Amino acid sequence: MSLLTPKKLILFGLAVILLIAIPLTVYLVGKQQELKSKASPATTLTFQPSSATVAVGQNVTFDIMINPNSNFVSFVHLVISYDPTKLEKSGNGLSINTNVFPGFDSSKPPAPAFDPTGKITVDLAIGANPSAFIQKNNTKVGTLTLKAIASTNGITTPITFGSETQVLTGQGDQFNTNVLSSTTPASVTITEGAVATPTPTLTPSLTQAPQATPTPTSTLTLTPTPATGPTATPTPTLALTATPTLTPTTTPPAVTTPTPTMAPTGPGDIIVGIGAFGIILSIIGGFLLFIL
């Protein structure tokens, strides 16, 4: 009689399936829980440098940096605020790093909207490629350039991330979850620009001869007179008048804020069904063992 009967073969196969399916199921469930835990708020936004000092009329530049930490960033709704009486847009104002955020349509890169109240708004997306998730810390989002238009009188004026700012994740069933943990503002000190100093006027005294003798423009006529004393010659007086310099002021133009575009949705990453499939095979094998 053969030791390997059909029932024993089926029983052996079931044991092998169980040995593979159960550990695989436990592993996949653990990975799923790990992905969920990584979707907790951990991302930060900062300015580099954190502070700067400039004179009126000069530009000040800051890099905007993102640290995803444990998150997989796919979308950023960025809002920046500043005092429009102290700072204004210079050049493009905000240049986006399109290598990281190409936008939903690569042919139409993200376009920031500038509000005259000192508010910048822009929506940034990684595009349709799910492998482009931002996971590396110290990733540059873009560069902010503003012009100083008034002195801060020895104090600082802040540049902040607005409370509406959001950072969304592209992780599985946590898709579109806001994972922004904290933001760090920047500060700017604005000093007065250089002021021209008028040249002082020197007045000659009786005890010191002037270095330069002015030439009068009038003609002096001498008239002979009887025996009298010498005629005194009047000394002309020069007056210098300083002309004040006027500094023009500019008013930033009003810009219409477009409606922001929301991030697309995507599929989840639940793959625990592989383990469940193994368990189903075990049940089928047990049924076959029973009927044979």
Q: What is the pLDDT of residue 266?
A: 42
Q: What's the CATH architecture for 40-191?
A: Sandwich (2.60)
- Cα first-last separation, the chain: 18
Q: Who wins on pLDDT, 44 or 263?
A: 44
Give 160-211 pLDDT, tens digit per residue.
999 999 999 987 657 789 999 999 999 999 999 754 445 555 554 444 444 5
Pairing mode, strands 180-183 and 43-48:
parallel
**Every domain of the chain and the residues it spans:** 40-191
- For the stretch 225-270, pLDDT in tens is 444 444 444 444 444 444 444 444 444 444 333 333 344 444 444 4
What's at 97, amino acid-wise?
N
Alpha carbons 95 and 181: distance in angstroms, whole number:
24
* Position with higher pLDDT, 232 vs 17: 17
Mean pLDDT of 125-137: 87
Confidence at residue 63, expressed as pLDDT on a 0 to 100 scale: 98
- What is the Cβ-side half-sphere exposure of residue 271, based on CA atoms within 13 angstroms? 8
pLDDT in tens, 64-121: 999 999 999 999 999 999 999 999 999 999 999 999 999 888 778 899 999 999 999 9
C-alpha torsion sign, points 128, 129, 130, 136: negative
